[in-house]
């Protein structure tokens, strides 16, 4: 078919990565990760409803190395997706589209997500850890 | 893939065929629901983070259950679960639309995402209700 012979527009690997492109991809990636994390939230609630033994198992998993790494990653993913989501909402009402503004808001989003993650884990450690 | 309408006997363009039939009606619905659930989640998440920190602080099983027995906590948690899975399901739908191009596999994964999200959301809601009712 003649349509297939036409040149295609260049795809992702052609471009040097601007920050906003990395953030766009991260928004999607963190969204997928958070959907999986939601299943853990349901598991935790289910264990709490099922009795002390199952709750102890769930807590032990959260306090394990794998659990802590996952919780830390998810907490950052949550704050990043939240902050970048707010950035998207501003775009939706037509605010902040200029290249310089988008660049600045990208920095704000990354900084805010790291700050909030640090804040939450400082609170957790101050309370004596997850377990 | 052939362009629809181009291989037909008449020379009408595809656009001419659909003109006057009205809008697709639900065309922007996905977009709007994604934003509305997003706004709800942004508000709910602030409370959820605080609640999770309180749960961590509470430590033992009985104290954790006591925290969830408050009506406000149960309502807020159920709202969070429903909004989060609704939002997740809409987002995952777009991801699958974008990356899965094998027709039967796309349909299968789309249905699987809907089922898993609905099932997990219902499980979470029932768990919260059980704790709130002390059962």
3-class secondary-structure state, position A119: helix
Task: Say yes or no: A93 contacts chain B, CB-CB below 8 A.
Answer: no
What per-residue confidence (pLDDT) applies to B1?
Answer: 46
Q: Is pLDDT above 70 for B135?
A: no
The residue segments making up the domain with residue A42 are 17-126
**Which ipTM value was assigned to this complex?**
0.87
| Domains, chain B, with CATH or none | 28-132 (1.20.1300.10)
* pTM value > 0.90: no
Q: Is pLDDT above 60 for A56?
A: yes
Please report residues of B whose CB lies closer than 8 A to that of A119: none
Write down the residue that tokens 């796309």 correspond to. Answer: B106
Predicted confidence (pLDDT) per residue in B35-77, tens digit: 999 999 999 999 999 998 888 877 789 988 998 888 999 999 9
* A2 — pLDDT class (breaks 50, 70, 90): low
Tell me how many domains chain A contains: 1
What per-residue confidence (pLDDT) applies to A68?
Answer: 93
- For chain A, the maximum distance between any two Cα atoms, rounded to a whole number of angstroms, is 67
Check CB contact under 8 Å for B130 and A78. Answer: no
Three-state secondary structure of chain B: CCCCCCCCCCCCCHHHHHCCCCCCCCCCHHHHHHHHHHHHHHHHHHHHHHHHHHHHHHCCHHHHHHHHCCHHHHHHHHHHHHHHHHHHHHHHHHHHHHHCCCHHHHHHHHHHHHHHHHHHHHHHHHHHHHHHCCC
Please report residues of A whose CB lies closer than 8 A to that of B123: 42, 46
In the structure encoding, which two tokens stand for residue B118, read together? 């609905």
CATH code, domain with A41: 1.20.1300.10
Check CB contact under 8 Å for B45 and A31. Answer: no
| C-alpha span between B121 and B114 (Å, rounded) | 11
Is residue A10 domain-resident? Answer: no
User: Mean pLDDT over all residues of chain A?
Assistant: 90
Is residue A40 domain-resident? Answer: yes
Please report residues of A whose CB lies closer than 8 A to that of B132: none
What per-residue confidence (pLDDT) applies to A84?
Answer: 97
Q: What percent of chain B has pLDDT over 70?
A: 91
In the structure encoding, which two tokens stand for residue A113, read together? 């997500």
Give backbone dihedrals phi and psi of B107, rounded to 5 degrees, phi first.
Answer: -60, -45
Predicted confidence (pLDDT) per residue in B93-128, tens digit: 999 999 999 999 999 999 999 999 999 999 999 999
Q: How far is CA A39 from CA A36, B96, B101, B116, in A?
A: 5, 19, 26, 9
What per-residue confidence (pLDDT) applies to A104?
Answer: 94
Mutate to test the interface with A, among B43, B48, B56 (most CBs of A within 10 A): B56
For range B16-45, the mean pLDDT: 87
* B13 — pLDDT class (breaks 50, 70, 90): confident
Check CB contact under 8 Å for B120 and A38. Answer: yes
Task: Say yes or no: A63 contacts chain B, CB-CB below 8 A.
Answer: no
Q: In angstroms, what is the C-alpha Rg of chain A?
A: 20
Is residue A5 domain-resident? Answer: no
* A7 — pLDDT class (breaks 50, 70, 90): confident
Is residue A54 domain-resident? Answer: yes
Contact by Cβ (8 Å): B68, B124? no
Write down the residue that tokens 């036409």 correspond to. Answer: A6
- Say how many Å lie between the first and final Cα of chain A, rounded: 63
* A131 — pLDDT class (breaks 50, 70, 90): low
Please report residues of B whose CB lies closer than 8 A to that of A32: 91-92, 95
Write down the residue that tokens 């909030």 correspond to. Answer: A116
Q: Is pLDDT above 60 for B11?
A: yes
Is residue A4 domain-resident? Answer: no
B79 or B2, which is more confident:
B79
Q: Is pLDDT above 80 for B10?
A: no
* Interchain CB contacts (distance < 8 Å): A and B: 80
A1 or A18, which is more confident:
A18
What per-residue confidence (pLDDT) applies to A3?
Answer: 60
Question: How far A120 CA sits from the closest chain B CA (Å)?
Answer: 8
Give the residue on B whose Cα is nearest the Cα of A124: B53
Q: What percent of chain A has pLDDT over 90?
A: 73
Q: Is pLDDT above 50 for A17?
A: yes
């Amino acid at each position: 078919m003649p349509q297939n012979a036409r040149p295609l527009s260049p795809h992702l690997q052609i471009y040097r990565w601007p920050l906003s492109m990395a953030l766009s991809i991260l928004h999607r990636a963190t969204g997928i990760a958070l959907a999986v994390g939601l299943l853990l939230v349901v598991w935790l609630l289910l264990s709490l409803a099922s009795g002390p033994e199952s709750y102890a198992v769930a807590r032990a998993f959260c306090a394990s190395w794998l659990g802590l790494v996952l919780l830390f990653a998810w907490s950052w993913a949550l704050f990043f997706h939240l902050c970048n989501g707010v950035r998207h909402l501003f775009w939706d009402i037509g605010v902040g589209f200029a290249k310089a503004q988008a660049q600045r808001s990208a920095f704000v989003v990354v900084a805010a997500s790291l700050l909030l993650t640090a804040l939450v884990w400082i609170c957790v450690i101050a309370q004596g850890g997850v377990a | 893939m052939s362009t629809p309408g181009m291989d037909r006997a008449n020379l009408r363009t595809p656009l001419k065929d659909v003109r006057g039939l009205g809008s697709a009606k639900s065309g922007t619905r996905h977009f709007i629901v994604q934003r509305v659930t997003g706004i709800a989640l942004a508000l709910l998440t602030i409370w959820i983070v605080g609640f999770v920190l309180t749960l961590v602080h509470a430590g033992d099983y009985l104290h954790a259950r006591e925290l969830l027995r408050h009506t406000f906590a149960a309502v807020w948690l159920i709202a969070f679960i429903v909004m989060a899975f609704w939002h997740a399901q809409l987002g995952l739908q777009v991801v699958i639309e974008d990356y899965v191009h094998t027709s039967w596999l796309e349909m299968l994964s789309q249905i699987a995402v809907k089922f898993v999200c609905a099932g997990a959301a219902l499980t979470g809601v029932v768990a919260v209700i059980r704790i709130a009712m002390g059962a």
